[in-house]
Amino acid sequence: EKRLRWYWRNPSDLCPWHMDETYVKVNGRWAYLYRAVDSRGRTVDFYLSSRRNSKAAYRFLGKILNNVKKWQIPRFINTDKAPAYGRALALLKR
């Protein structure tokens, strides 16, 4: 069993991620909080940025995809259709 344990996967990790950004106050300054959650509501990762643009979305997506194992990357990533995500995903697909 121990030899095969690393092959076992948590099926909830393959669920689609939902990504959104919101404006929050951190230490008296306003910042954008980019956050990705799975279908069970657990936070996958987050990123704080002073700007809401495609560069920040690109950094967030790059951070998320570098911090998870290849088999944990979902088939679908749901967004709120913000234009920044589309540009960032196009850059990452290159």
How is the chain split into domains, by residue range?
13-93
Nearest to 52 by CA among 91, 24, 75, 76: 24
User: pLDDT (tens digit, 9 = 90+) per residue, 21-77?
Assistant: 999 999 999 999 999 998 888 898 999 999 999 999 999 999 998 888 877 788 788
Which CATH number is 13-93 given?
3.30.420.10
> Residue 49 half-sphere exposure, CB side, CA atoms within 13 Å?
18
Environment class of residue 93 by beta-carbon count within 10 Å: exposed (0-12), middle (13-18) or buried (19+)? exposed
For residue 51, what pLDDT is reported?
92
**Tokens 């809401």 -> residue:** 52
Q: Which residue has better confidence, 57 or 81?
A: 57
Phi, psi angle pair for 25, to nearest 5°: -100, 125
For residue 9, what pLDDT is reported?
54
Distance CA 93, CA 88 (A): 9
For residue 93, what pLDDT is reported?
84
For residue 8, what pLDDT is reported?
52
